[in-house]
Structure 1
């Protein structure tokens, strides 16, 4: 070879061996251009976008404050204000809204008393803007003044409206994105250069990829290619992984081979005995054959159970265990024995070991103790003693019996898989030879020991010694875990034919379908338990290891409980009072979440990715079909008022509706009626003359209508009425022909929910096709999302009436009805008209 080519080869070899830094190559080809060209332009465009966004949204803030200012009045020398319905209508985004009205003396008239902290009172009618931190968020505040004259003199009423900066920041980002063409051009140029650099920088990785692709599946030898410094550790980890994978595959192959060999023999024996029994004509001989078949089946069941437990222990040994109390676990093993066997067991726990814990998986330790006890009971007739005591830094669990014992020369051998001592084989009590092997594996994994000692007076003493501070358990690689789980499932299916069912555990409100329960989902709600249980049970069918505890209360009480914080927060809240749910969101008490089907929820039934509607429920008129004929049942709100005015004595004390002072959903429906209908107060006056019966619960009104105590009910939740009608109650349902209010029950996750992941799983299910089918079917709560199968879909419910469907939209406009002064005025007027006595 010529010297020139030799030097070139040496340089090529040196370059191949020299570590290459991918990071440096990327910085060289891309970093300089990106950092130098973009910085100044980004600052300029961002500043412009923020100023433009503030100007646009400040006009909306000022308009809202001026609208409220126009409603300021003086009554008996006191400043009052009733928020107009349009006060917050201009806020269509997902920002939280706050407001405050202060008298000239600085006293809070209504709204958030702490909104004015740090802000000067208004001194004129022109809006003044300020930014401040309020309730853990950044807000923009508009302040305007309203001049009033009182006995004390003339002064300015201060009106403030604040909005979080989410929407304006989003607009600023949109302007920024649309104005950055110069930066985009420079970025494209930089990307071209970066592409060329990456092609060179990742050449070694491509070589590694090619090398791995060309390997056969059975080649688990280490990778010896030269690697860049950034990937040297990766290659090392890959080599370590393949070494563990090789060991795991060898271990799995041995386990499968042993299991196949050991299971094949008893199954072949069972088949041969069954064939002989089929040909047997002598009843006595046939009975003996059946007894042998039963004995073989029992032995096969025991063998499969041991194989199953062997696979379970192998799987669970890879988990990081929590401290396990030993004494209660030993007591549990004894309790699980049949009564005739448990009477033979004596459990002795030393005082210094009563509270001892071991860092061993609970199931693994329980099965180790159970195998020792089963062996002692199987191969001996007398009493079996279990003792737990401390022995220096270790805990000694000893099981003593009066069986035949194990000769010294066999003691090292019986720890092998499927190995049994000669004395035990002669007794032939159906052992599998896996029990001591499982115990030995548990001891070895935790750096303990199993000791076999002859017992004075005859018998065997087995000592399981585990250190009080167990060493970390060596973990199996991921492929081995999958193989063990697959084998575990196979053995479970086979063992199901022989195993007896386990006893059920103690039930919660809605116990998990599979025991033990992985977790309990706590739901606080204002939905009838009987109807909501359909959705809960369907959720548990999809998540069988989750138990559910459901606490039912009135919608206002649900809101008060969350705001007060006096009780532990639930994981999930469900309520029919949309305004109170929006209020919780606006107060910052809700955790955000983006369900998979968020885009499918109608815009009116969700807000800020924090509260989500999931049902479609109209407010209907209900009547007793024995007291009111279908042809005379009112079809509109006006017809209802005219009927009560025309026949007041007939319906005196026989009409029911919500007590709006106690019921959150009742107040919501009443305020929406007031905003939509010009006949609302006429209807309220008719209620007053008929001495309407007020309650905080739709089910209570329906009960009284069904029994004939009431003739009609107004603004009843349609889902409850549909369910009662389907159950055969003598009620008729009218979906009004003029307009029908529709609301959606909503779900939200409290900010301090202890298990938000469980709540998220329930929301996902409620919005899924399976969950919506439950709402459209047995629950009769109404499916909100399109495409649901069932009787009570949104389209089907809307078609029951001829009027306009008026959904109650989630958003800041609902906060107007919750204003303190507006609520007090509404309730006072309602009380005066509807129930003056």
Structure 2
């Protein structure tokens, strides 16, 4: 299996080469060049992760050039919404882990419809209005440092984590991390989902506050911090990235919480002003096909963790999986008053510098 972590130097070099005026974090071009036929894909997925999937797709479509732009979820959402409202063409395809933001874009008529045998096969919770489709399956996991964390302290559930931070607060001061929900659309989505799903949410916030837990923006920063021992435990980390890192660094341990595990499906939308609608639908069809599924599985974006490759070696029962449904219910998280109230509460836990 080709490891995405080997592509990290490529991502870093691309990041250095992007002008500050451009909102993309990184850019790469695939396939044929100079054909005048370029499919523009904007996504929150790291290039190093998605690279083999894109290579597999362009190999099937001769004469197509694909420009892949890596964005932060919040910036991608704001840019796509601005283009939608102005009628300016931007990307042909938008893919984001901030699926609540994608539902809002579709709700505001920023997408184009498409229907096929493959889209119809998707479960109802992974498609909406024939304009938004879930293309991956990635759990939100607990990550820990195998070398530094005592075996008896490994939390198998949120209840275990809460008990650990209550019983040994001095051992974990400054050594627990999670996403910064203001900087990360994905982090906000996971935290908001927890606030409605978990009876432990309020108690965990209090425990995080008491132990000086750290919030930061990015999956890679959090996971690398755990591997290096800066953090001992990280909560609600995207499992696909953790698994990819673990393949190269045995210090990383992964737990799918047994009380429940959130499962994210990155959402794809064909933008309303797409210049290459036909190629956009070909890309969607590829991702939903058997060949695309194989490529996504190799990239760990359809996560084998759900089938038992997390620590412990047992698959997570379906009853413990909480798929984040692509539906209008996600719009509640973007209501201005609701969001501000949630962030105010969050800042009491993570007040910042």
The two structures have a TM-score, normalised by structure 1, of 0.37
Q: 2:139 & 2:28 partners in 1: Cα distance?
A: 29
User: Do the aligned residues in 2 keep the contact of 1:554 with 1:696 (CA within 8 Å)?
Assistant: no
User: Are 1:642 and 2:158 matched, yes or no?
Assistant: no
Q: 1:630 to 1:537 in 2, by over 3 A?
A: farther
Structure 1 equivalent of residue 300 of structure 2: 780
What CA deviation, in whole Å up to 9, does each residue of 1:370-427 have, x standing for no partner?
A: xxxxxxxxxxxxxxxxxxxxxxxxxxxxxxxxxxxxxxxxxxxxxxxxxxxxxxxxxx
Structure 2 equivalent of residue 820 of structure 1: 336
User: Are 1:550 and 2:65 matched, yes or no?
Assistant: no
Q: 1:834 to 1:515 in 2, by over 3 A?
A: closer
Question: Secondary structure of the residue that 2:322 maps to in structure 1?
Answer: strand
How much is the aligned-residue C-alpha RMSD, in angstroms? 2.0
Q: 2:211 & 2:219 partners in 1: Cα distance?
A: 19
Structure 2 equivalent of residue 538 of structure 1: 56
Q: 1:655 & 1:553 partners in 2: Cα distance?
A: 26
What CA deviation, in whole Å up to 9, does each residue of 1:192-223 have, x standing for no partner?
A: xxxxxxxxxxxxxxxxxxxxxxxxxxxxxxxx
User: Do the aligned residues in 2 keep the contact of 1:559 with 1:580 (CA within 8 Å)?
Assistant: yes
Q: 1:759 & 1:700 partners in 2: Cα distance?
A: 32
Q: 2:69 & 2:43 partners in 1: Cα distance?
A: 6
Deviation at 1:814, TM superposition (A): 0.8
Q: 1:793 to 1:683 in 2, by over 3 A?
A: closer
Tell which has more relative contact order, 1 or 2 (C-alpha 8 A, sep 6+).
2
Structure 2 equivalent of residue 585 of structure 1: 106
What CA deviation, in whole Å up to 9, does each residue of 1:683-738 have, x standing for no partner?
A: 01111112121112111111211222211111000100111111234100000111
Q: 1:602 to 1:631 in 2, by over 3 A?
A: farther
User: Do the aligned residues in 2 keep the contact of 1:741 with 1:807 (CA within 8 Å)?
Assistant: yes
Structure 2 equivalent of residue 276 of structure 1: none
Alignment of 1:634-673 (within 5 A): 634-673=155-194
Q: 2:307 & 2:288 partners in 1: Cα distance?
A: 17
What CA deviation, in whole Å up to 9, does each residue of 1:76-105 have, x standing for no partner?
A: xxxxxxxxxxxxxxxxxxxxxxxxxxxxxx
User: Do the aligned residues in 2 keep the contact of 1:688 with 1:836 (CA within 8 Å)?
Assistant: no
Following TM superposition, the consecutive aligned residue runs of length 4 or more in structure 1 with deviations greater than 4 angstroms are 793-799
Q: 1:546 & 1:606 partners in 2: Cα distance?
A: 27
Q: 1:652 to 1:818 in 2, by over 3 A?
A: same
Deviation at 1:588, TM superposition (A): 0.7
Q: 1:836 & 1:752 partners in 2: Cα distance?
A: 39
Gaps of 5+ in 2: 1-26
Q: 1:728 aligns with which of 249, 257, 260?
A: 249
Q: 1:605 to 1:573 in 2, by over 3 A?
A: same
Deviation at 1:794, TM superposition (A): 5.5
Q: 1:659 & 1:602 partners in 2: Cα distance?
A: 31
Q: 1:517 & 1:836 partners in 2: Cα distance?
A: 49
Q: 2:117 & 2:47 partners in 1: Cα distance?
A: 26
Question: Secondary structure of the residue that 1:760 maps to in structure 2?
Answer: helix
Deviation at 1:665, TM superposition (A): 1.1
Structure 1 equivalent of residue 3 of structure 2: none
Deviation at 1:632, TM superposition (A): 2.2
User: Do the aligned residues in 1 keep the contact of 2:33 with 2:65 (CA within 8 Å)?
Assistant: no
Question: Secondary structure of the residue that 1:732 maps to in structure 2?
Answer: strand
Q: 2:76 & 2:243 partners in 1: Cα distance?
A: 25
Q: 1:618 & 1:663 partners in 2: Cα distance?
A: 17
Q: 2:125 & 2:193 partners in 1: Cα distance?
A: 14
Q: 1:727 & 1:697 partners in 2: Cα distance?
A: 19
Structure 1 equivalent of residue 143 of structure 2: 622
Question: Secondary structure of the residue that 1:682 maps to in structure 2?
Answer: helix
Structure of higher CA gyration radius: 1
User: Are 1:511 and 2:30 matched, yes or no?
Assistant: yes
User: Do the aligned residues in 2 keep the contact of 1:638 with 1:679 (CA within 8 Å)?
Assistant: yes
The two structures have a TM-score, normalised by structure 2, of 0.85
Question: Secondary structure of the residue that 1:700 maps to in structure 2?
Answer: helix
Q: 1:801 & 1:635 partners in 2: Cα distance?
A: 12
Question: Secondary structure of the residue that 1:589 maps to in structure 2?
Answer: coil
User: Do the aligned residues in 2 keep the contact of 1:606 with 1:810 (CA within 8 Å)?
Assistant: yes
Q: 2:142 & 2:180 partners in 1: Cα distance?
A: 16
Q: 1:831 aligns with which of 332, 347, 350?
A: 347
User: Do the aligned residues in 2 keep the contact of 1:684 with 1:834 (CA within 8 Å)?
Assistant: no
Gaps of 5+ in 1: 1-507, 784-791
Q: 1:793 to 1:692 in 2, by over 3 A?
A: closer
Question: Secondary structure of the residue that 1:533 maps to in structure 2?
Answer: helix
Q: 1:801 aligns with which of 309, 316, 330?
A: 316
Alignment of 1:510-529 (within 5 A): 510-512=29-31, 517=35, 519-529=37-47
Structure 2 equivalent of residue 307 of structure 1: none
Alignment of 1:674-693 (within 5 A): 674-693=195-214
Question: Secondary structure of the residue that 1:509 maps to in structure 2?
Answer: strand
Q: 1:822 to 1:625 in 2, by over 3 A?
A: same
What CA deviation, in whole Å up to 9, does each residue of 1:354-381 have, x standing for no partner?
A: xxxxxxxxxxxxxxxxxxxxxxxxxxxx
User: Are 1:707 and 2:228 matched, yes or no?
Assistant: yes
Q: 1:635 to 1:794 in 2, by over 3 A?
A: closer
Deviation at 1:589, TM superposition (A): 0.8
Q: 1:544 & 1:538 partners in 2: Cα distance?
A: 12
Q: 1:544 & 1:631 partners in 2: Cα distance?
A: 55
Q: 2:327 & 2:205 partners in 1: Cα distance?
A: 27
Deviation at 1:568, TM superposition (A): 4.6
Q: 1:608 to 1:531 in 2, by over 3 A?
A: same
Q: 2:320 & 2:309 partners in 1: Cα distance?
A: 12
User: Do the aligned residues in 2 keep the contact of 1:596 with 1:764 (CA within 8 Å)?
Assistant: no
User: Do the aligned residues in 2 keep the contact of 1:734 with 1:801 (CA within 8 Å)?
Assistant: no
Deviation at 1:655, TM superposition (A): 1.3
Q: 1:515 to 1:683 in 2, by over 3 A?
A: closer
